[in-house]
Amino acid sequence: MKRGDRLMVPEAEFRSYYGRPVLKRPVWKVPDVPAYLYLGGLAGASSTMALCADLTGRRRLARSGRLAAAVGATASVGALIHDLGRPARFLNMLRVLKPTSPLSVGSWILAPFSALSGAGAASEITGRLPALGRAAATTAGVIAPAMTTYTAVLLADTAVPGWHAAYRELPFLFAGSAVSSAGAVGMLAAPAESGPARRMAVAGAALEFAAGRSMHQRTGLVGEVYRQGRAGAAWRAARVLTGLGAGAALFAGRSRPAVIVSGLCLTAGAVATRYAIFEAGRASVSDPRYTVVPQRDRLDARR
Amino acid sequence: MDSNRLSGPLADPAGEAGYPSDHPDRVGFFTDTSVCIGCKACEVACKEWNLLPEDGLDLTGMSYDNTGALGATTWRHVAFVEQHGSTGSTVDLGMPGMGEDQVRWLMSSDVCKHCTHAACLDVCPTGALIRTEYGTVLVQDDVCNGCGYCVPACPYGVIDIRPDTGGAAKCTMCQDRLGAGLMPACATACPTESIQYGPLDELRDRAGQRVAELHDQGITEARLYGHDPADGVGGDGAFFLLLDEPEVYGLPPDPVVTTRDLPSMWRHAAGAALTAAAVIVGCFVGGKR
């Protein structure tokens, strides 16, 4: 290049087509999809919490868990439908079952789960058909753990570098976040029986932190997207909120204000976590560096 | 699930998809960018034949390429790569020279790759994306739910959602022309035969010969891209002869069908789900109210 010539693109250590993205940005909307991720996780872990509470004779916690599961699952379906545009499209998701499509598998988890947890909650509220309601809630509680992690596969099974590179850790991160979210709701709704919910809040947060740490260490260059910009800010906010919430849950005991602070912090933290992950994926697509550099390194290593 | 159905070489995608053994040969595109003159006849012919709307008349400001990228209504995209300095040679097309300060123009018509293992097809939850009898990948407009899952799944960034219809759209390899024994519109319109259409095996032979010919002429930077059935997508139904690294043209250097890792993803998800269940149960065991 001669002196005085103007660079068409900023000089970079990798080459690309005028700095344009290689991949297409996900068309999924905010807040629809982050909300869908949070609500699905909350519903799943709440349902299993309700089942355990029921079996150990904690009626109020069981009731709160069943209601949270039904509300979470229904709202999750609502968020998905809003993203799709119209209700018929959710039903159309069920026209086939495709094991290679996490969205198809997920729809087949979400649809029966939301129906069963809805039935369980309806029976809980009305007091009608208690045996059937309990059977529905129990079945929901058994399939519920799948609700907490399938969405991680949904994101990871894409070419989006920030999501695909983290496919081993994302399910554990989502599982941990879901458990602490459900713990938060249990603490808020059933203070008298909140012992297990408090332990869930703490244990879930610990699992989430451990998975997040491992994700950072393993994802290399692509992991940058979780530390920078909007995604980085949301991620840091999520760490602080979840840490505060878990700390408060650990020492809350029966203190009502501490329980409320903890529950709200954990909920906000879980929402922020989902948003951060969603946004990090979008950021990793917008900059061709995250597509080209790891692939180029892989290719050069093979040569 | 046979691993070969998710990744790796696969001789007959149409047969694997369930078409009887008398299905037509797998067809494809071989785009030889060394003879592309950037005339955009392919872009225009594609839009004309497939009734695709214009994408707006905004200038990108980055080069003479004002289309920018493939998209839901751009199924052929001609990249214009402007390189300064001695960055290699081109086939002499008799274009006016630029003196001592060499400017090299690389032009390349990009298109959907019609992958042997197509991530868009794999992740589609409704079965709207199908493998055709010709081994190509097609969106069935009436089945598509517009969920957009195929969009981030494509390792080449090809498929997108059309705002006007809400459905996913990309190159069909002119499925409607193939049935009538015609070539795709882009290949028909290409004046330099940069876009070649035909049975994939034949195109691969022809491409091999062309690379050897260019290497003999001293154009050592000539290389094929997407031709290898052992690559991350099982080889492309549309492959290219390039004169520089793929990323220079906006192509990923080593794309992989994301579904290759799906069994491992489901295993991790199952492990995490069991962990969640164990943690919740553990929180109820032995504790106080």
B146 to chain A: which residues are within 8 Å by CB? 84-85, 89
Q: Which of A286, A171, A279 is nearest to A231 (CA)?
A: A279
- Cα–Cα distance for residue pair A82/A89, rounded to 1 Å: 10
Distance from CA of A22 to the nearest CA of B (A): 6
Q: What is the CA radius of gyration of chain A?
A: 21
In chain A, the residue whose alpha carbon lies closest to the alpha carbon of B256 is: A159
| Contact at CB, A158 and B273, closer than 8 angstroms | no
Assess contact for A242 and A269: CB atoms under 8 A: yes
- Region of B146 (left: φ > 0; alpha: ψ -120 to 50; beta: rest) is left
Please state, rounded to an integer, the average pLDDT across all residues of chain B: 93
| Contact at CB, B283 and A89, closer than 8 angstroms | no
Assess contact for B190 and B42: CB atoms under 8 A: yes
Distance from CA of A112 to the nearest CA of B (A): 17
Could you tell me the two tokens for B166?
Answer: 């809400």
Q: List helix spans (H) across chain B.
A: 13-16, 41-50, 119-123, 150-153, 175-178, 185-189, 200-216, 262-284
Tell whether the torsion through CA atoms of B249, B254, B260 and B264 is positive or negative.
negative
C-alpha B70: how far from chain center: 10
- Cα–Cα distance for residue pair B117/B9, rounded to 1 Å: 9
Query: What pLDDT band is residue B189 in, cutting at 50, 70 and 90?
Result: very high
- Cα–Cα distance for residue pair A240/A266, rounded to 1 Å: 10
| Contact at CB, B276 and A1, closer than 8 angstroms | no
B140 to chain A: which residues are within 8 Å by CB? none
Q: What is the pLDDT of residues A253-272, one digit of tens each?
A: 778 999 999 999 999 999 99
If 0-12 CB within 10 Å is exposed, 13-18 middle and 19+ buried, where does residue A121 land?
A: buried
- Cα–Cα distance for residue pair A141/A135, rounded to 1 Å: 10
Partner residue opposite B126 with nearest CB, options A25, A93, A200: A93
A197 to chain B: which residues are within 8 Å by CB? 283
In chain A, the residue whose alpha carbon lies closest to the alpha carbon of B249 is: A17
**A36 contacts: CB under 8 Å, gap ≥ 6:** A76, A79, A80, A83, A151
Distance from CA of B150 to the nearest CA of A (A): 8
A185 to chain B: which residues are within 8 Å by CB? none
- Cα–Cα distance for residue pair B140/A127, rounded to 1 Å: 47
| Contact at CB, A157 and B258, closer than 8 angstroms | yes
A153 to chain B: which residues are within 8 Å by CB? 262, 265-266, 268-269
Give B175-182 contacts, CB < 8 A, sequence gap 24+.
B175/B132, B175/B134, B175/B136, B175/B138, B177/B49, B178/B27, B178/B134
- Region of B68 (left: φ > 0; alpha: ψ -120 to 50; beta: rest) is left
Element (H, E) at B239: strand B238-242
| Contact at CB, B125 and A107, closer than 8 angstroms | yes
Partner residue opposite B284 with nearest CB, options A56, A92, A160: A56
| Contact at CB, B125 and A281, closer than 8 angstroms | no
Q: Could you give phi then psi for residue B174, rounded to 5 degrees?
A: 50, 55
**For residue A31, cis peptide bond before it (omega within 30 degrees of 0):** yes
Mutation site for A-interface testing, chosen from B279, B281, B285 by largest number of A Cβ within 10 Å: B279
Q: What is the DSSP string of A142-168?
A: HHHHHHHHHHHHHHHSSS-HHHHTTTT
- Cα–Cα distance for residue pair A69/A48, rounded to 1 Å: 9
| Contact at CB, A203 and B79, closer than 8 angstroms | no
B145 to chain A: which residues are within 8 Å by CB? 84, 89, 92-93
Query: What pLDDT band is residue A1 in, cutting at 50, 70 and 90?
Result: very low
pLDDT of residue A176 exceeding 70: yes
Partner residue opposite B250 with nearest CB, options A20, A44, A102: A20
Distance from CA of B264 to the nearest CA of A (A): 8
Per-residue pLDDT, B57: 83
pLDDT of residue A219 exceeding 60: yes
Q: Which of B56, B37, B42 is nearest to B174 (CA)?
A: B42
Q: What is the pLDDT of residues B64-123, one digit of tens each?
A: 899 999 999 999 999 999 988 655 555 555 666 655 567 889 999 999 999 999 999 999
Assess contact for A225 and A162: CB atoms under 8 A: yes
Q: What is the pLDDT of residues A107-133, one digit of tens each?
A: 999 999 999 999 999 999 999 999 999
Q: Specify the DSSP class assigned to residue B270.
A: H
How many beta carbons lie within 10 A of that of residue A188, not counting itself? Answer: 19
pLDDT of residue A58 exceeding 70: yes
C-alpha B50: how far from chain center: 18
- Cα–Cα distance for residue pair B199/A161, rounded to 1 Å: 33
| Contact at CB, B283 and A199, closer than 8 angstroms | yes
Partner residue opposite B269 with nearest CB, options A153, A292, A295: A153
Tell whether the torsion through CA atoms of B65, B66, B72 and B74 is positive or negative.
negative
Assess contact for A108 and A156: CB atoms under 8 A: no
Per-residue pLDDT, A13: 78
| Contact at CB, B119 and A18, closer than 8 angstroms | no
pLDDT of residue A100 exceeding 70: yes
* One-letter-per-residue 3-state SS of A249-290: HHHHCCCHHHHHHHHHHHHHHHHHHHHHHHHHHHHHHHCCHH
**Mean pLDDT to the nearest integer, B196-209:** 98
Using a cut of 0.90, tell me whether the model's pTM lies above it: yes
Query: What pLDDT band is residue B38 in, cutting at 50, 70 and 90?
Result: very high
In chain A, the residue whose alpha carbon lies closest to the alpha carbon of B78 is: A17
Per-residue pLDDT, B190: 98
- Given the DSSP bridges, would you call strands B238-242 and B168-169 parallel, antiparallel or unpaired? unpaired
SS3 B201: helix
- Cα–Cα distance for residue pair B184/B198, rounded to 1 Å: 10
Distance from CA of B181 to the nearest CA of A (A): 33
* ipTM value for the complex: 0.94
Distance from CA of B112 to the nearest CA of A (A): 13
pLDDT of residue A191 exceeding 60: yes
CA dihedral of residues A224, A80, B158, A21 (deg, nearest 10): -30
In chain B, the residue whose alpha carbon lies closest to the alpha carbon of A54 is: B284
